[in-house]
Amino acid sequence: MPATLADLWFDRARTQADDLAADDGTRRVSWGELLRLADGAAERLATAGVGAGDVVVLQGRNTVEWVVTAGAVHLLGAALAPLGSEEPAAARQEYAVRVGARAVVAEHPAAGELALSAVQPGDLDAGTLPPRRANPAASAVAVVLATSGTAGHRQWVAMEHAVLIRMYDDVAGLLDMASGDRLLGIVPLAHSFGFNGLLVLALLSGASLRLVPDRDRDALAGLVRESAATIVAGPPALLHDLAAAVRAGESLGPQVRLFMTGATEIRPSALLPLAAEVGIPRVSAGYGLTQTCGTVALCPNIAQASDGAHVPMTVLPGVEVAVLDAVGRPVPPGTRGRVLTRGYHVAVPVGDDGWFVTGDEGHLHPDGSLCVTGRVDDQLVVSGFNVDPVRVELALERSPLVARAAVVGVPDPRSGHRLVAVVVPADGVDAAGRNEAAVLADARAVLTGYEVPRTVVWVDALPHTTTGKLSRAAVRGLLAEHLTDQEHVQEA
C-alpha cells in the first residue's frame, strides 16, 4: 500500500497514464498529464517559498486547476488546507493565520495571495514522469480541514497520509470502486466528503472525476447523463433534486450504479423510493465526522441492511464505537445513547482512554453495527454540512438591528434542516425597522451559504433556563407558535 498521497499520484500516472483522471466541463486531463501538471505547479509554489512541512491554503471551485494545485502541494511534501469557495476574504485571512499557512492560493486572490491561475504551469514535456520532489513520512499531515466548533469558532483538523489511505482503501473496497467508475464531483473538494470521498477515493481506485465548478439544479440530471457518471455523491438533498428532475421529464441514463451519501440521520424509507424513481439501483450511507477523518462506519447498500427506520452501518476495521447513556454508562444493544468512537482515525485530542465523544445519538445492534438516529447536541446538518448555531448567532448579532439571536433547525425533507433565526430587535428598532434582508446581508459577510438562515422570526425576548443559559428547547416551542403567524415570519 502506498504510504502517502504523493505515492498515489505517481502510482496512478504509472499504471493509468492515458486514462481520464478529471474534467470540469472545459478541460480534460489524464492521470499522466495530471501528475506532470501538478509537478509544474509544484515548481511555481516552490518559487513562492513553499517546501516540505509547510501549509498551503487553497480556495476555489471544483476545477482541474484546483486538483492540480492540491497535487502540487503533496508533491512538495506540504499540507493542504482547503477552504470553501464561498468564504469571504476576511475568513480566508483568519484561516491562513490559524493554520500557519506559508502561502494562500485563491481563485480570486486578495493582496499578498497567489492566483490559482498563476500557479498553473505552461507547456510540459509529454510522456515523461517527473522525479520525486519530497518523501514525506506516512505520519505527516496531508490535509487540514475545517469543521464547526462548539463555542462559535471553528476547529482545524489535521489528517495524516497513512490514516487517509488506510481508511479510504477500506471504503473503496466496501463500495466496489474500480478504475472504470466515474465520480460526479458536486460536493465541494474543500470539505471532508469532497476531498476524502471523491479525490482520495479516485486516487486509490483510479476512478475518474467529473468536477462540477458551479452547481445548477436545473442542469443536474443532464450533467449526470452526459458525463456518464457511474457514482453520484452528495447529501440526501441531491437525490431529492434528481427525483424532481426525473419527474419533470429528465433522465439520468442507465449507467449510474450507486448514490453515495452521508448525513447524521439516513432514513431508508425516504431515500430508497427516490433512488428507485430515478433508476439508481444502490444507495450507500456513511457516518463520520471531520474529527474522525470523515468516516466511522459505512453501509454499502441500505436496501439490503435497513432495519426499517434507520441504517445499520458496518464499523470500519480498526475503529471502535460505543453508545453511552447520559451519565456515561454503556447501554445494551437497541438502546439509544450518545455515540463515542476511538481508533487510528481520531484526529483531534482526546482523553487518556482515547474515546472521542460525538454529538450524535444512536444505538448498536447485537452484531456491532451502528445506527445513527439524530443529534444530542445543538449541531445542525444542512445539505450534509454541519452547522454550529452559535457561529450563526454571532454572525446575526453583527447587525445593529439585532440584540440577541438564537438559531434552530426545522426538519426539511430535502436539506435535513432548514435554519430559522429567532431574533430580538436592538433597542430603538420598532416593527417598521425590522429589516430581515439587512440582517442576513451582514451575516452573509462572514458565513458560507448553507449557514445563512432561510427564515427570520422576530420576538421580544429569548427564553432562558434558571441558570441564565439560552433554552433551545423553549426557543423551538416559541418558534412553533410564531411559524403559524405569517405576519411575523419573513422567508429570506
Which grid cell is 164? Answer: 487517509
pLDDT the model gives residue 466: 41
pLDDT the model gives residue 491: 37
pLDDT the model gives residue 310: 80
pTM of the model: 0.81
Question: Percent of the chain having pLDDT more than 70?
Answer: 93
Helix (H, G, I), strand (E, B) or coil at 377: coil
pLDDT the model gives residue 339: 96
Phi and psi at 193, nearest 5°, equal: -60, -40
CA dist 36 and 128 (Å) reads 8
pLDDT the model gives residue 377: 66
CA dist 300 and 34 (Å) reads 30
pLDDT the model gives residue 153: 52
pLDDT the model gives residue 487: 35
HSE value, Cβ hemisphere, 13 Å, CA-based, for 16: 22
Domains, the chain, with CATH or none: 5-215 (3.40.50.12780), 381-491 (3.30.300.30)
Q: Residue 470 has what DSSP assignment?
A: B
pLDDT the model gives residue 490: 36
pLDDT the model gives residue 40: 95
pLDDT the model gives residue 154: 65
Between strands 231-233 and 182-185, the pairing is parallel
Q: Is residue 482 a contact partner of residue 489, using CB atoms and an 8 Å limit?
A: yes
Positions of the chain with pLDDT under 70: 148-154, 263-265, 306-309, 377-379, 464-469, 482-492
Strand partners, 374: 361
